Each structure stands twice: as structure tokens, then as C-alpha cells.
Amino acid sequence: MLKEIVPIIKKTDPRQWFPCFYFNNQKKQQEQDGFAVLYTFARIKTGVQGKRIKMETILKGRKRLVKQLIAVIICSISLLFLSACWDRIEIEDRGFVVGSAIDLGEKKDNNKYEILFTNQFVIPAGLGTPLQGGGAQQEAYKNITVTGGSVFEIFREMATLSSETPFFSHMKVVIVSEEVAKEPELLSKVMDVFIRDHEMRRGIKVAIAKEGLQAKDILDVSPKDQKVPALYIESLMESNYKNAKSLAPVPVGQLRELMLDNRSYTLPEIEIMDDKALKYKNAAVIRAQKNLMVGSLSDKETMGLTLLTEDDQNAPINVNVDGEAAVIELTSGGNSYHLLNKNKDNLKVEIKLNLKATVAEMHGYSKLTSESFIKKLEHATENKIDELTEGTIKVAQNDLQVDFIGLGDELFHRHYDIWQQVKDDWDVGKNYFSKAEIDVKVDTTIKKTGASDNFK
């Protein structure tokens, strides 16, 4: 541009060209390589009329400006992500809580009890292989117990007693003492924080410590091949509940639904066999009204409950036919409820159990290829199951008067009109549940007899 202007200026008097620049503001846009190039024409008025000088102003920076703008946006967004670790906690500084135990403390002046809360922390260094040279193996866990009026208050206090920040996202089990479960509304209060806190997982399993035991003692029992008691309890729950004398594990999420629906329910029980073993069996019955424990089921009663409520069966049934003992293993099954009488004061319900089984063990000389003998085994199995389920129903209706077998749920889902009439007095008040007639019909089919007819 200067190369074009300078020669013209040299031919003119400096006194003439200095004040004589003016722009005619005529603009023209052209597309060149996808970008607009702006041309501005300027007329320089000099002593020689008609001389025009074309001033070309090229906006070279448009493409470059777009690239720079994109780079600035990317850098700005990156800064947001790079600053996301401002509140990080190093893994070495975290205290991983894997189990909790809740016991009843002293009674205060306001007739309310304090809570003894125990958290089990994992010590990562103790999970490794034993040290060589005969050095002592470090413990893989530590239990910290704090007393307080609320669980949240206890959590804050516990954080001051440990060098690590408590981290609850890896929680496996919560053990509640029977004393806590028998206090009205206390069970729901202590479980509230496990449902409400964002770090807690809905899969945390809940169990009741057997009568006479403190829940924190359960968290000190582990066999030699298990280093962390809470992890041992979780594996015990997962592997042993299918023997029909133990309930399926109840997670916190399911417990919340039961409480919100105001339904009575059962929780699995756990007890200490010796210092190195635990027994996961039987069930604690929780009444929906005031959420308190009203009783405990025996082995047979728990077995009857699982037969009535669970579809997948894997239970051994001991029978005796013609003086010969046999063990029948239930492999699968299903149940169906039928309302035969809709009069709320005289409800009649029929429960049908359709079960499949195999002959697991036989003590005798009878031929299992005999169809008549197989029928006798099936009939004996049906009688045994009928005895177990009737015993459980008797405890529910007469002894405890609590619907822990789920009959109210069936009315709610299948006979809602009837449920609306009885729901307020189902297992409280008039207690329509205890007045109902419940009949169990069992149909057992033996599908397999094993790889051999008999031993001899």
C-alpha cells in the first residue's frame, strides 16, 4: 500500500496533500477462500485532479481470530476440570469403614437411651502377606466405639478419634443388638442415617445380634482364614441363606421400603458359636407399629417362613417311609395365594406350594425305581412341609399376631378393595390377620433319584 502512495506524494507539494485525505466510505465485500476480504477505497485529493489511489485493507486476522477464540474456550473449560481435585483426600488418609455395630447405652434422665456405636476400619497394611523373619502379623482391622445421643453426632465425634477420615462407601454390614430392636422406634431412628447419608450404599446388609449378645462383639469374631470380621459376616450371609433355616440378606434399601410401607417384616439373626465362628440362622420379627422387635423364630419356624415366601428353594427335608430314612432336597418351587372368602371378618386364604425335589440321601433297601415308593416319598415330604408351614402360621397368627408372612402384601396387590377395608386394623387393633383362615396346599414332585438305585 505504501509503495503505491509514496510515488504520488513525491510529485505533489507537501502543503497541498497533508489536509486533503478523505474517504468516500465505499465498501465492497468479496469471498476469497471462504473468508470475507474488506476493500476500502480512498480518494486522495491533490493538485492533479482525478488521481485515485486504491487503499486495500486486508483483514488477515479473521481466520486467525477464530482459531484463537476456540483455543481460549478450550483452555477455559480445561481449567474447570483441572480444578476439580481441590477437595481430594489421599487414599492413605481415608479410613475405610466396612462394618458397624449398634448397641444400647445408658438410660438418660429424659428416659431416652444413649447409643453405643462401633465402626470397623480396615487397616490396609494388615491385608498383605505375613512378614518374613518371624515378625508378628499386623491386625487387618480396628474397632472404634463411641457413645452419643444420635448416630450423626457419633460420626462427627469418631472423626476426631482417628487419624483417617471415615469413608463409608465400602460399608458391608450393620449389626443391631436385640436390645436396640426392642425399643419402640429406636431401630428406625438409628437406621435413618444409613438411608439418608449420601456416602451410604443401599446394599448394606442388616442383621440382629442374638439375645444376650452385644452387637460390637460380633465384629470381633473371625476365623483364621478371614482377616476382617465384617467381610466374613458378609460372605456368611451370601452363602448360607439357602439352607432354609436362614433368611435371605436384607439390604438397607429394602428395609427402607418396608418401613415406609408400614409393613411388618423379619430380619436375619446372627450369633457367636465360639471365638472363631458365627452362626447365621433364624429370624427376628419386627412389628410395623412402632418398629420394634416382638419375637424370634426357631429353626423350624424360620424354615416354614422361607417355604411360604421364597420361590428358589434349596432345603433338605428329612422324611421316614416304611421305617427307612431319606433326605429329600428341594430344588425349586413357587407359591400362589387365593382368596376364597372376601368377608373381612372371616377371610379365608389358600396358599398353594408347588415344589420340585430330588432324593439326596437314602437309608434303606427299597427300590427307588418303584413308582409306588416314590409316591410315598412325595407324600411324606408334603406332610413334613405342611407341618413346618402350619407351625409358622400359628406363631404369626396366635403367638405374635403379626403378619410377617406377607399376606397383607398379596391383598394389597391382588385384592385392593378388600385391603382398603382392613389395612388400618390388619395386624393391630381388630387384627383381621389373626382372624383369617389360612390353609396351605403342598404339591411335591420328585424329579430325580440320583445316579444309583440303592447302595447294595
Tell whether 395 is covered by a domain: yes
* pLDDT for the residue 135: 54
* pLDDT for the residue 48: 39
Final residue of a structural domain among 297, 313, 331: 297
* pLDDT for the residue 453: 55
* Residue 276 DSSP code: T
Tell whether 362 is covered by a domain: yes
Final residue of a structural domain among 247, 278, 297: 297
- HSE at residue 409, side-chain half, CA atoms within 13 A, is 13
Residues 313 and 426 in one domain: yes
Final residue of a structural domain among 23, 48, 73: 73
Q: What's CA 198's distance to the chain center, in Å?
A: 12
Which amino acid is present at 201?
A: R
Find out whether 412 and 418 touch, Cβ atoms under 8 Å.
no
Residues 122 and 176 in one domain: yes
Mean pLDDT of residues grouped by 10 in the chain (456 residues)? Answer: 47 45 40 40 41 45 75 78 61 81 87 89 76 62 90 83 81 94 91 85 92 90 85 87 77 91 92 84 91 92 90 82 88 87 91 90 76 89 94 95 93 92 92 94 85 50
* pLDDT for the residue 143: 92
Q: How many domains does the chain have?
A: 3
* pLDDT for the residue 240: 74
Residues 308 and 453 in one domain: yes
* pLDDT for the residue 74: 84
Find out whether 120 and 230 touch, Cβ atoms under 8 Å.
yes
Residues 55 and 143 in one domain: no
Find out whether 340 and 349 touch, Cβ atoms under 8 Å.
yes
CA nearest 289: which of 415, 211, 187, 210? 187
Distance (Å, whole) CA 353 – CA 369: 26
Task: Return the number of other C-beta atoms located less than 10 Å from residue 398's C-beta.
Answer: 9
Distance (Å, whole) CA 113 – CA 110: 9
Residues 339 and 283 in one domain: no
Residue 316: give the domain boundaries.
298-456
Residues 354 and 434 in one domain: yes
Tell whether 118 is covered by a domain: yes
Which amino acid is present at 286?
A: I
CA nearest 189: which of 152, 144, 147? 152
Which amino acid is present at 320?
A: N
Q: Is 278 helix (H, G, I), strand (E, B) or coil?
A: strand
